[in-house]
Amino acid sequence: MLGSLLVLPALLVIVLLYLYPFGLAVWISFSGEDGFTLEHYQRVYEVYWEDVIFTFWTSFLSAVIAAVLGILIAAYLRLGADDPIKSFINQLYRIPIFLPMVVVAQMMRGFLAPHGTLNMALFNLGLSQPIEFFDWKGLVIGFVWKQAPFMALIILSGFLMVKDEHIEAARVAGASDLRVLTEILLPMTRNTVAIAFALAYASNVATFTLPYMLIGGAKPTAITVDIAHRVTFFGDWATANALGVVSFLLVSVFAVFYLREMVRRGVYER
pLDDT digits (tens, 9 = 90+) for 85-127: 888 888 889 899 999 999 999 999 999 998 899 999 988 888 8
Check if the beta carbon of residue 66 is closer than 8 Å to that of residue 141: no
Tell me whether residue 22 is in a domain: yes
Greater model confidence, 75 or 258:
75
CB 207 within 8 A of CB 101: yes
Per residue in 186-206, pLDDT (tens digit) is: 999 988 999 899 999 999 999
User: 238-262 pLDDT, tens per residue?
Assistant: 999 999 999 999 998 787 777 777 6
Residues 6+ apart with CB under 8 A from 67: 151, 193, 196, 197, 200
Neighbours of 185 (CB within 10 A): 25
Separation CA 125–CA 118 (nearest Å):
11
Say if 120 falls within a structural domain: yes
- Domain presence at residue 9: no
How much is the pLDDT for 86?
Answer: 87
Which domain covers residue 56, as residue numbers? 14-269
Tell me the sheet residues that pair with 31.
36
pTM (two decimals)? 0.89
Please report, for the domain that includes residue 152, its CATH number: 1.10.3720.10
Is 8 within a domain? no
Q: Residue 267's pLDDT band (boundaries 50, 70, 90)?
A: very low
Contact 11, 218 (CB under 8 A): no
Give CA separation, 3 vs 6, 8, 219, 262, in Å: 5, 9, 52, 21
Q: Tell me how many degrees the CA angle 228-231-233 measures, rounded to the nearest 5.
A: 95
d(C-alpha 237, C-alpha 14), whole Å? 23
Instruction: Please give the pLDDT value at position 146.
Output: 95
> Is 76 part of any domain?
yes
Strand extents, DSSP E, the chain: 31-32, 35-36
How far apart CA 177 and CA 183 sit, in angstroms, is: 10
Query: How many domains in the chain?
Result: 1
